[in-house]
Amino acid sequence: MNPKTKSSKPRKQRSYLRNAPNHIRKRFMRVHLHPDLREEYHTRSMLVHVGDTVKILSGDFKGAEGKVTEVDYRKLRVYVEGIVRTKRDGSEAQAPISPSNLMIMSLNMTKSRKQALEKKGKLA
């Protein structure tokens, strides 16, 4: 249950997710870290960024690894390099994946991410 909502009813939870403003939606895009990274950065999860290497933990593509090519905050989905679905007309399209089904294996250490970790005191 989300701490901002008062109800535990699934219908209201889905409504909250669907109608959340963008600055709140971004928080839903946190992805678990690999245990080695957890030790290094002293945190369980981080926002997923383009360029991170992720492993898919469940679904049709379970076990696959790849780099993140796109993060869609509006649809709350992540697109991974090499993860494609074949459409009915024979063309291929990237398959959207929920961030809850991912684990970050290695980080793309951007300037903003480095600053955020330093600010929280989690970067040595």
pTM comes to 0.86
Provide the pLDDT for residue 7.
87
**pLDDT tens string 54-98:** 999 999 999 999 999 999 999 999 999 999 999 999 999 999 999
pLDDT in tens, 36-47: 999 999 999 999
pLDDT value, residue 112: 86
What CA–CA distance (Å, rounded) separates 104 from 86? Answer: 26
Exposure string over 3-12, b if 16+ CB within 10 A, otherwise e: eeeeeeeeee
Q: How many angstroms separate the Cα of 57 from the Cα of each of 23, 53, 91, 97, 100?
A: 27, 13, 26, 10, 9
Question: Residue 84 forms beta bridges with which residues?
Answer: 94
What's the chain's length in residues?
124
Domains along the chain with CATH numbers: 31-108 (2.30.30.30)
- Residue 1: predicted pLDDT: 55
Q: Six-digit token pair at 67? A: 């780099």
DSSP 49: -
Determine which helix (DSSP H) or strand (DSSP E) holds 68, and give its type and residue range.
Answer: strand 65-72
The pLDDT value recorded for residue 37 is 94
Look over the chain and give the mean of its residue pLDDT values, rounded to a whole number.
Answer: 91
Instruction: Give the pair of three-digit tokens for residue 102.
Output: 């991912």
Q: Give the DSSP H/E element, type plus range, for residue 114.
A: helix 111-119
**pLDDT-derived band of residue 122, with 50, 70 and 90 as boundaries?**
confident
